[in-house]
Amino acid sequence: MRSSGAFNSGGGGGSRRGTDWHDIGSLAPPLEKGAIVDGFLLEKRLHQGGMASMWRVSRVDAEGNPAPVADEPPLIMKVPRIKGGEDPATIVGYEVEQMIMPALTGQHVPRYVARGDFTRQPFIVMEHIAGDTLRPRLAEAPLALDEVVEIGIRVATALHDLHRQHVVHLDIKPSNIMFRPDGAAVLVDYGLSRHEHLPDLLEEEFSLPMGTGPYMSPEQVQFIRNDPRSDLFALGVMLYHLTTGERPFGAPSSVRGLRKRLWIDPIPPRALRPDCPPWLQEVILKCLEVQPDKRYQTAAQLALDLQEPGQIVLTRRAEKMVRSSQWTRLKRWFFALGAEPQETAPSATEVLNRSSIVMAAVDVDNAAPELLDQLRETVRRIVLTEPGARLACVSVMRIARIGNDALTDHQGKSLHVKQLVGLKHWARPISKALNLEDGRLTFHVLEAPDPADALVDFARRNQVDHIVMGARGNSLLRRYLGSVSSTVVAESLCTVTVVRASAPNNSEAGDAARQPAPDSPGDSAPS
């Protein structure tokens, strides 16, 4: 697409040397309010940064009259500041953003609208996300713990969505995080990002690590640019800062300073903030592990933990009150000397594929024993073949739609506990056989009037990759109650495996169908 701006490009332009791609942007005069670029009217400069300026823009027709497009959000134009056409950081960063943004979709990224030709007037027009970034909140850190956790959940959810689109952000920090009115986090600025299926224009460009000093992961310091777990490290830095008011690794400006994070671990958050619960420290320090393999493997797994703190398995990380000893650091320093990261870091797809969240929906109270066995065996096989998978065992405790439930609180609690006990008992052979340590196995009893809705909602909220559940065996029951599994299959966004207990032969299954319905089918939960 050639840009055909109505702005004056005649005067003040640089002379052309060689072919035009060497003279990027040098023909464009500085932009001013009221200028029209490629059909966009520059209304107001919202921000002038070192790398780019931001303009609020609107669409106009050839005569300059407003020409809004239906259903289009308010627009913003990002114009890179090119210093003399030989500024690799800005040029390539802009190229990268221009390449990656059109490939992104969903509520966690600003919607891409248009871009300008670099040889005339480089720009990107995108959805204007109203409000401020998270950056000003840093000044208020430490924040309330609830808020830190909420921010963590939202940003992790957004990150997982990005990673699923094969993109690693690589510059996660408060100034690149915004929120929609409904609270959903929006990640902005893709100038340093890496798309797994597109050429990495930055790969060969610079001899210095790329990123923002305080947030850069150890592997980024070592020039790895395709590991989605780098973003989880940066999120860990952010959560640490918001929790304690301090930066875990300071704000180094030299490569030597950056490399220190390879062997010096941060002061444990609880030493700086006594009311930081051990589980939150566990989460933050896990994000800040030097080895990506020791961190959360996906943002979804991190979000799941933050939403279910009671399920977090506490390790030595949670108990630490001081930094590692000099001796430990010395050892780490020694091994970090000249250490090169693994030759082939796993791609976003690989990491996500091997670190899925599997959800077993188990109707512990009502399903037939054969079905429960079959379900367990199926789940075992799935988890066995995916060594990085997490297993969330879920059952639904039905409650009445309206508040005046017959159950007293006490009764409700004991039923809840009973289901939880049943669920854990059901999963015991799996956890024993597969040695599911380190928080890979969690249990959830959902209280909801509609089991199918509850299961679909849980899967969506926790970005579950695969639901495994039983089919209601009795066809008469199914006829009266509808099938929970078919609703889940129809409505969930992920893979669903529906398990049936193998019947000895067809005639017996037919007999079962003719049996009268049990007395109180209304109590049945998912099967």
The answer to whether the CB of 177 falls within 8 A of the CB of 186 is: yes
Q: Which helix (H) or strand (E) holds 255?
A: helix 255-259
- Give the footprint of other proteins on residues 476-515 (CB under 8 A): none
What's 214's DSSP letter? G
Nearer to other proteins, 86 or 147 (CB): 86
Binding of other proteins by 366 (CB under 8 A): no
Identity of the residue, 98 or 395, whose beta carbon is nearer to other proteins in the bound complex:
98
- Single out the residue of 142, 296, 164 nearest to residue 217, CA to CA: 296
Q: Which amino acid is at 249?
A: F
Measured distance CA(211)–CA(444) in Å, rounded: 38
Q: Nearest distance from residue 103's CB to other proteins, in Å?
A: 8
Amino acid at 504: P
Which residue's structure tokens are 């924040």? 143
Least separation, in Å, of the C-beta of 486 and other proteins? Answer: 32
Which range of residues in 64-72, 86-94, 240-248, 273-281 is near other proteins by CB under 8 A? 86-94
- Token digits for 485? 């599994």
* Segment contacting other proteins by CB under 8 A, of 192-200, 230-238, 431-439, 502-510: 192-200
Stretch that binds other proteins, among 97-105, 171-179, 296-304, 474-482 (CB under 8 A): 97-105
Residue 91 binding other proteins, by CB under 8 A: yes
**Residue 83 touching other proteins (CB under 8 A):** no
For position 249 contacting other proteins by CB under 8 A, the verdict is no
| Tokens found for residue 78 | 């990002």
N- to C-terminal Cα distance for the chain?
55
Q: Taking a C-beta distance cutoff of 8 angstroms, is the pair 287, 302 a contact? A: yes
Selected from 28, 76, 95, 391, the binder of other proteins by CB under 8 A is: 95
Of the candidate residues 9, 56, 73, 117, the single one contacting other proteins (CB under 8 A): 117
Stretch that binds other proteins, among 182-190, 197-205, 235-243, 468-476 (CB under 8 A): 197-205
Say which residues have a Cβ less than 8 Å from residue 112's Cβ, sequence separation at least 6. 101, 102, 104, 124, 126, 127
Please state the closest distance from residue 59 (CB atom) to other proteins, in A.
20
**CA dihedral in degrees (430, 432, 437, 443; nearest 10)?**
50
Q: 12-51: which residues touch other proteins (CB under 8 A)?
A: 19-22, 24
For position 86 contacting other proteins by CB under 8 A, the verdict is yes
Which residue, chain included where needed, has tokens 């051990």? Answer: 278
Nearer residue to other proteins within complex by CB, 225 or 247: 225
The three-state (H, E, C) secondary structure of 57-90, written as one string: EEEECCCCCECCCCCCCCEEEEEECCCCCCCHHH
Q: Which residues bind other proteins (CB under 8 A)?
A: 1, 19-22, 24, 85-86, 88, 91-92, 95, 98-99, 102, 117-119, 196-201, 203-205
